[in-house]
């Protein structure tokens, strides 16, 4: 028995790998620990451990570049990065400090990044010069650090919005970097609404200056000044507006500075302030303004109690505060933006790609591709049986080719690689090349009459295998550009075609040789 297993070790190996693959696909113990789809998982089914990609499960995929340019090796000396950012932003038309990022210690030395899409490269260069910083080069694109930060922020936003199973990663097409966001089960427009804004939240104060003109004091509170952010609240008896309760940081006198600004500008005037900015901006008490990405979302005054506690200075000892908005959706967005932080650069969805497949369409594609796969197997079987007419030769051929597909599915389950339409297409392509090579083996071995001895068999098998090896190497070389470059959805196709060819050459096709030898040398 053992002797037999050893002399047929290729066949034994195939059997073992097949069993392992089946185990990977079906065993509940191999199920992914954290189901990728989360609670309302649509990305996997319960029967198998296979994960489905967005094509087959439904969901939204967005691939978009971050906008901005980077000045490298900027001579900023020992100056603080905040000061440099402020100085450069000051020289740029309509730019805030949030549009300029200064970093030390990147691989290109100290860098300054400008992310306002309206700023040209020459304007940026002039601004750096105007602020007194020399630099080596300005290039399109951002630093890896900024891209990582952007990925963290987007992940934060997606998680804060309760979208489970999403993935955010960086991909490159060789010319630039893109952020790839995949969210199962969500509509395209919902995902775009969530991520397209940078989400810079700040508070301005709109008030009259000493000369009686209305002016805006910008950024009395910014993103970093908030200590905690509660969930968005619907309007209720306590307040007629949707709102986000927040508290302000006490360190470094942040709360106190805010308190004195509010008092000085007259928002916290005795008895409170009533804001009429929307109706009559030239005749209103002082207002607090909630500003997101430069747009005023809401303007509001202050009630008497709060104004009094600010005037006495009590407020800064427990600085909690309420941001009111005009709609609950807005309140939710503000809360998400405050918690996840602002994107360090705008995401240019219009310079990338988006795709959406509804969950029902995904289910249809799943059934459809299963049908196509079965049809392909039947067709191949039909041709092979018609050609060889000997079930002993043809049946193992079809089974061997099919086992290649099973092993690939096992790989996919083991890796947790999400199956999509292009991966299924690669299974069919592998089935095709697999049968091709088995035909070469069968014809090579059976040519020129009977195969009487093991020796004759091995020499013919080796000859046939030379052709298979070269053909496999060619396919791998032809497919490798696709596997390396991120050409959209074709990576899966290339990766699984290459895997399939490797499995074929090293496992299944040699095993078919064993089967044939047993059949032919026995006679």
Partner 1 sequence: MAQLSVPTVDYTQYSNRQLVAVPLALLAVALLVIGGWYLLTGAPANLGLEFVGGSEIRIDDPGGNAAQQIETAFSAQPDSVRQIAADDTYILTCAEGAVDTPDGGNQLSVLEQQAEAAGFSIQASSSVSPSFGANTQTIALGGVLVAFLGMSVLVFVMFRSIAPSVAVIASAFSDVVLPLAMMNLLGINLSLGTVAALLMLIGYSVDSDILLNNSILRESGDFYESTSRAMRTGVTMTLTSIAAMAVMTVAAYLFGIQIMTAIGIVLVVGLLADLMNTYLLNVSLLRWYVNRGVNA
Task: Please list every residue from 458 through 517 that binds partner 1, using CB under 8 A.
Answer: 463, 466-467, 470-471, 473-482, 485, 487-490, 493-494, 497
The token pair at 440 is 């070469």
Q: Residue 445 CA to chain centroid, in angstroms?
A: 50
Task: Give 296 or 372: the residue with its C-beta nearer to partner 1.
Answer: 372
Q: Give the strand order in the sheet containing 109-114.
A: 100-106, 109-114, 69-72, 137-140
Choosing from 25, 51, 53, 63, the residue that interacts with partner 1 (CB under 8 A) is: 63
Give the residue with the Cβ less far from partner 1, 44 or 434: 434
Minimum CB distance to partner 1 smaller for 227 or for 485: 485
Contact between residue 61 and residue 169 where contact means Cβ atoms under 8 Å apart? no
CB of 300 to partner 1, least distance (A): 27
Mark the segment that binds partner 1 (CB under 8 A) among 23-31, 233-241, 281-289, 428-436.
428-436
Contact segment (CB under 8 A) with partner 1 among 91-99, 224-232, 288-296, 356-364 equals: 356-364
- Closest contact distance (angstroms) between CB of 74 and partner 1 is 28
Query: Contact between 351 and partner 1 (CB under 8 A)?
Result: yes
> Does position 319 bind partner 1 by CB under 8 A?
no
387 sits near partner 1 (criterion: CB under 8 A): yes
Span from 154-162, 251-259, 322-330, 357-365 in contact with partner 1 (CB under 8 A) = 357-365
Can residue 144 be called a binding residue for partner 1 (CB under 8 A)? no
Residue ranges of alpha helices (H) inside 223-358 are 254-264, 304-312, 328-340
Helix (H, G, I), strand (E, B) or coil at 155: helix
CA dist 283 and 448 (Å) reads 103
Residues 433 to 452: which contact partner 1 by CB under 8 A? 433, 435-437, 439-440, 443-444, 447
Q: Does 9 bind partner 1 (CB under 8 A)?
A: no
CA triplet 71, 77, 82: central angle to 5 degrees? 70
Q: Does 361 contact partner 1 by CB under 8 A?
A: yes
Give the shortest CB-492-to-partner 1 separation in angstroms. 10
> Contact between 364 and partner 1 (CB under 8 A)?
yes
> Rounded to an integer, what distance in angstroms lies between the CA atom of residue 51 and that of residue 30?
12
Q: CA-CA distance, 457 to 52, in Å (whole number)?
A: 43
> Helical H runs in 296-452?
304-312, 328-340, 359-388, 391-415, 421-446
| 405-424 binders of partner 1 (CB under 8 A) | 421-422, 424
Query: How many CB atoms are located within 10 Å of the residue 47 CB?
Result: 8
As measured in angstroms, the least distance from the Cβ of 473 to partner 1 is 6
Distance CA 511, CA 17 (A): 11
The answer to whether the CB of 484 falls within 8 A of the CB of 372 is no
**Phi and psi at residue 59, in whole multiples of 5°?**
150, -175
Contact pick of 81, 355, 518, 521 for partner 1 (by CB under 8 A): 355
106 Cβ contact list (under 8 Å, min separation 6)? 143, 144, 145
- Residue closer to partner 1 (CB basis): 150 or 268: 150
């Amino acid at each position: 028995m053992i002797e037999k297993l050893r002399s047929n070790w290729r066949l034994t190996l195939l059997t073992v790998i097949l069993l392992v693959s089946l185990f990977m696909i079906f065993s509940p113990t191999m199920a992914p620990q954290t189901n990728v789809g989360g609670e309302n998982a649509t990305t996997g089914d319960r029967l198998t451990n296979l994960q489905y990609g967005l094509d087959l499960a439904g969901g939204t995929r967005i691939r978009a570049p971050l906008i901005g340019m980077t000045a490298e090796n900027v001579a900023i000396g020992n100056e603080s990065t905040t000061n440099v950012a402020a100085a450069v932003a000051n020289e740029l038309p309509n730019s805030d400090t949030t549009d300029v990022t200064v970093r030390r210690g990147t691989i290109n030395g100290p860098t300054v990044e400008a992310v306002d899409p309206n700023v040209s490269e020459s304007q940026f260069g002039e601004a750096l010069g105007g602020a007194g910083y020399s630099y080596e080069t300005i290039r399109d694109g951002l630093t890896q650090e900024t891209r990582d930060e952007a990925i963290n922020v987007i992940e934060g936003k997606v998680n804060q919005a309760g979208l489970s199973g999403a993935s955010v990663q960086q991909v490159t097409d060789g010319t630039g970097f893109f952020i790839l966001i995949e969210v199962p089960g969500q509509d395209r427009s919902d995902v775009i609404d969530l991520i397209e804004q940078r989400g810079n939240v700040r508070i301005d104060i709109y008030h009259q200056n000493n000369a009686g003109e209305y002016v805006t004091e910008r950024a009395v509170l910014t993103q970093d000044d908030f200590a905690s952010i509660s969930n968005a609240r619907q309007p209720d008896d306590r307040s007629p507006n949707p709102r986000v309760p927040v508290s302000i940081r006490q360190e470094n006198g942040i709360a106190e500075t805010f308190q004195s600004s509010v008092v000085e500008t007259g928002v916290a005037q005795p008895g409170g302030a009533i804001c009429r900015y929307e109706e009559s901006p030239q005749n209103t008490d002082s207002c607090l303004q909630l500003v997101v990405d430069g747009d005023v979302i809401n303007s509001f005054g202050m009630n008497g109690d709060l104004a009094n506690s600010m005037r006495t200075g009590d407020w800064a000892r427990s600085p909690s505060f309420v941001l009111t908005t005009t709609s609950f959706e807005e309140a939710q967005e503000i809360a998400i933006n405050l918690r996840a932080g602002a994107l360090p650069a705008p995401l240019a969805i219009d310079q990338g790609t988006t795709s959406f497949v509804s969950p029902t369409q995904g289910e249809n594609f799943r059934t459809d591709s299963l049908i196509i796969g079965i049809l392909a197997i039947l067709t191949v079987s039909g041709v092979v049986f018609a050609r060889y007419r000997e079930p002993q030769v043809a049946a193992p051929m079809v089974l061997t080719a099919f086992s290649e597909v099973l092993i690939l599915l096992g790989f996919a389950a083991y890796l947790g690689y999400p199956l999509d339409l292009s991966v299924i297409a690669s299974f069919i392509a592998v089935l095709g090349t697999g049968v091709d090579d088995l035909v070469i083996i069968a014809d090579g071995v059976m040519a020129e009459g009977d195969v009487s001895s093991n020796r004759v068999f091995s020499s013919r098998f080796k000859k046939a295998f030379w052709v298979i090896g070269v053909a496999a190497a060619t396919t791998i070389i032809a497919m490798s550009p696709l596997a390396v470059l991120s050409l959209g959805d074709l990576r899966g196709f290339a990766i699984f075609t290459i895997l399939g060819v490797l499995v074929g050459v090293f496992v299944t096709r040699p095993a078919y040789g064993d089967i044939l030898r047993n059949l032919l040398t026995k006679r």
